Amino acid sequence: MFFDEPTSGLDSSACFQCLSLLKSLSRGGKVKLSKRRIRVYKKDKKSLTVSAVLTGRTIICTIHQPSARLFEMFDHLYLLAEGQCIYQGNVGGLVPFLSSMGLDCPSYHNPADYVMEVACGEHGECVHKLVMAVNNGKCNNYQHYQAGIAAAQAVSNDIAKESPQEQTKPEGTALIPNGVAKAGTTMINMPVSCTTSLLDSAESIEQKVGFPTSGLLQFWILLKRTFLSQIRDMTLTRVRLISHIIVGFLIGAIYYDIGNEASEVMSNAGCVFFTVMFLMFTAMMPTILTFPTEMSVFVREHLNYWYSVKSFYLARTLADLPFQMVYSIAYVVIVYFITSQPLEVERFLMYLNICVLTSLVAQSIGLLIGAAMSVESGVFIGPVMSVPIILFSGFFVNFNAVPKYLKFLSYVSYVRYGFEGAMISVYGYNRAKLKCSEYYCHFKSPTKFLEQMAMENAVYWIDVVALLGFLLVLRVVVYFVLKLKLRSLR
């Protein structure tokens, strides 16, 4: 989290409360060892930049004229003068470093004020000398100055907890809570390679950084956020719903009252195929366009240890489900009844079920493409991948006419199962003969028409299971693609 002078315009009490809140946020409620330390390089000529070492994320900010009390709250200091670094390291090591350069901070003087005076040249032209010292690594000698004090304090606190009756400290040793040693303090020599920072007494240094909240809470918060964002997004909700309704009425007007007409069975098959195609593209393409933008936010927040991949993906999947189902249902209900498909509850539910499953599988492909590549690549790859899937759907080429060496491709076409299941819903299961308004209708028997389409032996529930299998496999693949993408970005 980045802050630019968060204490500007606040009184001393509000400043302390503000920084205390940032400090608690940086600790995440449970202090653990952090092995990630991030620095910001600000191009201002004279600005004080400080950062806090934390669990899972880093608080970084510039601060305006901090008091000594506020100054001591920070873990790491990065000081710039004339665009160059004149000190970086622990706050406690600043005064000793300046003293080693012949710049002694007066007693009872705020180190933050003094170092700003030095940066402004009030104590001579010292900037170049300090820059050279930093470049030569001299300030590294003071990196663990405050860490040694904190470790000594932690040891003394542990001893005090175990032996409450021994409250007296040895003479010449005085440690105060802000980690700055008073006069006469006895320093504990710490190894230069040690990087301990604010460990609980029961925690080991090898403990890994985890998420500050449970997976269930992460999932619930992400589910609400995703659901609300989709409701508020005009493109994802209202425009898509309105487009499904408008196209539904348009298709209903084109194929009006042909569902029970024997002389129009081929036209009705075209209506069924268009329904499957429309639901496929309207589910896949918006996902390809929007998911990559969500990916950038997800990657940033996950790498900051806000939530896990599992929580994000489950929330995203469940939040999308009702919207996609509503779009499909709105379209199917309009088209089904206007085109006079069989008015039987079982057939309608079968038809609706197969259409919804087809749209969910198409949405899964959109998630896969959106997770694996950019918007520009996805917009091209999505339609190109759909071409062979559509060709082997059974509408353009009869299954019996497909060469044997290419027939296996029809089994990996999810559109084939969607179209086949929809056709069986309309014409299968011993449907009564269709009405014929002409002198002769060859396909008056629905079974004969299914034979013509090479679907006489097709089973509806096999198509449903196949689509469910596609849906499950694709969703799992998307999850692992997200994991691999995050691993490549670490």
Q: Among 6-10, 268-272, 470-474, 480-484, where is mean pLDDT lowest? A: 6-10
Distance of alpha carbon 337 from alpha carbon 343, whole angstroms: 8
Distance of alpha carbon 469 from alpha carbon 25, whole angstroms: 43
Residue 205 is predicted with a pLDDT of 37
Of the two residues 41 and 468, the one the predictor is more confident about is 468
Local structure of residue 261 (DSSP, 8 states)? B
Distance of alpha carbon 402 from alpha carbon 394, whole angstroms: 9
Q: Which of 427, 414, 294 is nearest to 361 (CA)?
A: 414
Local structure of residue 11 (DSSP, 8 states)? -
Query: Would you say residue 171 has pLDDT above 90?
Result: no
109-113 long-range Cβ contacts below 8 angstroms, 24+ apart: 110/67, 110/68, 110/71, 111/68, 111/71, 112/48, 112/65, 112/66, 112/67, 112/68, 112/71, 113/65
Q: Which two tokens stand for residue 113?
A: 């004020």
Distance of alpha carbon 379 from alpha carbon 34, whole angstroms: 41
Residue 180 is predicted with a pLDDT of 42
Q: Which two tokens stand for residue 337?
A: 């009844």
- What is the total residue count of the chain? 490
Query: Would you say residue 469 has pLDDT above 60?
Result: yes
pLDDT band at 361 (very low <50, low <70, confident <90, very high): very high
Residue 66 is predicted with a pLDDT of 86
- pLDDT one-digit tens code per residue, 388-436: 899 888 888 887 888 888 888 888 899 999 999 999 999 988 888 888 8
Residue 102 is predicted with a pLDDT of 85
Residue 367 is predicted with a pLDDT of 93
Residue 54 is predicted with a pLDDT of 38
108-134 mean pLDDT: 84
Residue 138 is predicted with a pLDDT of 72
Residue 333 is predicted with a pLDDT of 95
Beta bridge partners of 52: 59
- pLDDT one-digit tens code per residue, 245-285: 999 999 999 999 898 888 889 999 999 999 999 999 999 99
6-33 mean pLDDT: 77
Residue 143 is predicted with a pLDDT of 60
Residue 334 is predicted with a pLDDT of 96
Mean pLDDT taken over the chain: 79
92-114 mean pLDDT: 86
Residue 38 is predicted with a pLDDT of 36
- pLDDT one-digit tens code per residue, 196-231: 333 343 444 344 456 777 889 999 999 999 999 888
- pLDDT one-digit tens code per residue, 24-57: 888 765 433 333 333 333 344 444 444 444 344 6
pLDDT band at 142 (very low <50, low <70, confident <90, very high): low
Distance of alpha carbon 453 from alpha carbon 422, whole angstroms: 13
Q: Among 168-172, 265-269, 448-452, where is mean pLDDT lowest? A: 168-172
Cβ proximity of 101 and 133 under 8 Å: yes
Percentage of the chain exceeding pLDDT 70: 79
**Residue 271 CB burial class (10 angstroms; 0-12, 13-18, ≥19):** buried
